[in-house]
Structure 1
């Protein structure tokens, strides 16, 4: 279904006729509080002891994996001075490990339904596998943009890279706040990943971004020197600059008033400078911008996800989002006005007004628009990319965040284990040599 935007009121034209779920706005719960103040995922599922146990096991798993990944990065860092191509391939392997970490920790401690739909621009690129997973067929190089609801948005989008074919969880690049690089272990690990850290001062940030983006658009030579190619890259941007909150809402309103535009109701007004710079630098090496609109089930109108889905609620109390909802669109870079910053600013703002309309539909109906039916051949059979079937009949794919095989998390420790094994063998060989000589 195509999404049309009304400039007068930001409403969604021709909204899908879906039954509106009872969100219980204003209803009184057994505890005497109003439903809009209750947690969207209900009461705590676990008692204090179980929460403590879940917290300890989560901390042990997350910390041990982060330490193992960072140690693997340090051990491979000399490759930077030996062979840059091998070094970046090695770091992509460690980035895959972090993708496995966030996927497994979500599956084990914070299981949730992922509900996916999209417009005609992504038709045939999202399908459900026979074992209940979802598989994306997005290209190896793209810019990914999304509205920023809560701090874990990036986690679910990293999982999308894992679920893609080919898998892209080793080639995700994120633009982050500069303060994050000072987090012990994690911050240094993200620096190895080639993430871009922003101080929010363009005079400082532009040279950093230019340096990193030049690396991302440098062509590599294929084995044998017969051809050249660009390294796979998913560049994740949150044009809003911060997650939705009352403070962000107030800043968005002030900014909208300052520049004389309408402030969206459900998303924050995007800032276009960083994205414009990225697109301008990468133009000619990236064909598409993929846009994801994200919504979390049960957040009352006028409230914010950060008020409900905290670390404790999501991972320890057993109250993760009941569903995380994605609506996908795709835009060709060649069709985006990049001749001047002002035109691009208008283009991006219009896309965010469309997002606001999508969010209004979600809040009103509990669903984003469904995906359009896939094309069929003359005999009625599915064309390439497949038609809806099974759980896709209503235009939505429902799945969960999980790895294909339960044991994949072991890969996080494989490289470090191999270093340990080789080191142990070398020590034994050295010891035997010393004893033989002396």
Structure 2
């Protein structure tokens, strides 16, 4: 329309509109040209209703504190130990120099800052389990966090991924089959042993020797059960190493098993890594043919476990409450009874640390070391000497055998219970890749038993030597020694497992025969 108006005005100025409109002008008239008009007014949406903001409704949220990076690892100096009457053979210098050349000088080079720890944790959480490398030796600490006070202070997620990468998990269906079969076997075996114990309980009223033999028979049966559990549901290679003191006492048989010749009377000590330590030590007793004559010193709470704890009480295991006024009486009664049974073998197993190594245990051990001025080991808890001192002083044994246990797959500074638990070992099919043992023997006559403080000092030195052995293992991946036997946990014959069910089967058969005879006589 604006073009038409301009055309009409132009024609009016030329003469009142006498001339017609040309074609070009007509085309221009039809072409829209509104450049001079103001832009159209766009409709605006209605303003939103006024409301009180969340900042006015809710109180301000405090910002989380900034994460403080963990302090760097500073290893405690290992001063040379004072020599005493018992000889200790350290690692050879050639091996030590080769190991030091291949490993970093300090674990702080693995994780130098909290940002690196966050990056590692994010990579582990975003990647699949199969992409996480298997960690062992000194380089393992970097995947879980920095090493502080001997503990692995990394994220829980990183620890779980590392544990999952140690050995691939079995399919869910396979785990279910393992679980059902294990529970069926273990439950039937334990109930059978409990039934056998109940039937033989009146023997103590008839003869002490008969009762002792019956107790050892049931204890032997349970030793076969735990050995079968490991052989069938948790097959694991075992590397047994010893120094010159056990030369000739650990031998390998033709079928690949080992036999230990520690004698009929002995006291065994070991460091406590995971909950299955006592199972492997019971297997060691099986290799020495004394799995029916072992006495394990345990904490008191374990005797209340249904069926299993009741059976352990019948086995005459020694339960301690960590109160010396009670424990002294229990140790006195147990040791006196063992000494009276002169003709019966007896192995006493004790874990001087009292519990498996954890961060809370390290904290308690640190307080104990500060209280009495002891040097702290890097890979162990400080031992408690009183119970072991009482056993060695009052029990007639010629030797003390010391075992240092390490499990392949637990990184330096890590806790075994974070990687290997009883469900993961027997249900999920993730046992340790190998069990490593280092054995030493000490003559009882060479141990200072005249004074408890002297014995405690002697034990602390032995524990620092064990710590040096573990440090060598984490560096080299194996123990060094003069005796080396590679084997696995297994029975001499599968027929041995029938011993567990022999007596109940005999009772059932006799009852069936008696019932049929009674029916015929009627």
TM beyond 0.5: yes
In structure 2, what is the Cα distance between the partners aligned to 1:16 and 1:57? Answer: 49
Mapped contact 2:103–2:475 kept (Cα < 8 A): no
Instruction: Please report the RMSD computed on the Cα atoms of aligned residues, expressed in angstroms.
Output: 2.4
Corresponding position: 1:277 with 2:390: yes
CA distance in structure 1 between the partners assigned to 2:385 and 2:132 by the alignment:
41
Matched, 1:402 2:490: yes
The CA distance in 1 between the partners of 2:247 and 2:177, in whole Å, is 44
Match of 1:7 in 2: 81
Query: Which structure carries more relative contact order (alpha carbon 8 Å, separation 6+)?
Result: 1
Tell me the distance in 2 between the aligned counterparts of 1:402 and 1:83. Answer: 35
TM-score (norm 1): 0.85
Indicate yes or no: 2:279 matched with 1:168.
no
Residues 60 and 198 of structure 1: CA distance in aligned 2, closer, same or farther (over 3 Å):
same
Q: Which residue of 2 aligns with 1:231?
A: 344
CA contact (8 A) 1:336 1:344 kept: yes
**What secondary structure is seen at the aligned counterpart in 1 of 2:166?**
coil
Q: Which runs of 5+ in 1 are unaligned?
A: 220-228, 372-394
Q: Normalising by the residue count of structure 2, what TM-score does the alignment of the two structures yield?
A: 0.72
Corresponding residue for residue 309 of structure 2: 187
1:55–1:316 CA contact under 8 A, matched in 2: yes
Which of 343, 346, 365 is equivalent to 2:454?
343
**Deviations 1:45-93 (CA, angstroms, capped at 9, x unpaired):** 3111111111111111111100001100110111010011111111101
Q: Equivalent residue of 1:6, what SS?
A: coil
Partner of 2:229: 105
Is 1:17 matched up with 2:95? yes
C-alpha distance in 1, partners of 2:280/2:79? 27
1:72 aligned to which of 178, 196, 199 = 196
Contact 2:132–2:165, Cα closer than 8 Å, also in 1: no
Q: CA deviation digits over 1:299-333, x for unaligned, max 9?
A: 11111100010122211222100100010000111
Structure 1 residue 426 displacement after superposition = 2.6
In structure 1, the residue corresponding to 2:500 is in which secondary structure? helix
Q: Is the 8 A contact 1:6 1:12 kept in 2?
A: no
Q: Give the Cα–Cα distance (whole angstroms) in 2 for the partners of residues 259 and 157 of structure 1.
A: 31
Do structure 1's residue 257 and structure 2's residue 370 form an aligned pair? yes
What secondary structure does 1:145 align onto? strand
The answer to whether the Cα contact below 8 Å between 1:5 and 1:13 also exists between their aligned partners in 2 is no
Matched, 1:242 2:316: no
* Superposed CA offset, 1:119-149 (max 9, x none): 1110011111111111111101100000111
Q: Secondary structure at the match of 1:396?
A: strand
> Is the 2:235–2:431 Cα contact (8 Å) retained in structure 1?
yes
Show the counterpart of 1:384. Answer: none
- Partners in 2 of 1:414 and 1:209 — Cα distance? 33
> Which protein has the larger Cα radius of gyration, Structure 1 or Structure 2?
2
2:95 alignment partner, SS class: coil
The answer for the alignment partner of 1:304 in structure 2 is 415
- Give, in angstroms, the shift of residue 424 of structure 1: 2.3
Contact 2:271–2:403 (8 Å) recurs in 1 = yes
SS of the aligned residue for 1:263 comes to coil
Task: Number of aligned residue pairs: give it.
Answer: 393
Q: Distance in 2 between matches of 1:42 and 1:143?
A: 34
Q: What is the alpha-carbon distance in structure 1 between the residues aligned to residue 245 and residue 90 of structure 2?
A: 18
Hey, what does 2:321 align to over in structure 1? 199
1:145 paired with 2:269, answer yes
**Pairing 1:320–2:431 present:** yes
Q: Contact conserved, 2:276 with 2:422, CA < 8 A, in 1? A: no
**Once the two structures are superposed, what CA deviation does each residue of 1:378-403 show, in whole Å capped at 9, x if it has no partner?**
xxxxxxxxxxxxxxxxx521110000
Match of residue 215, structure 1, among 337, 352, 373:
337
The answer to whether the Cα contact below 8 Å between 1:5 and 1:353 also exists between their aligned partners in 2 is: no
CA distance in 1, matches of 2:410, 2:103: 13
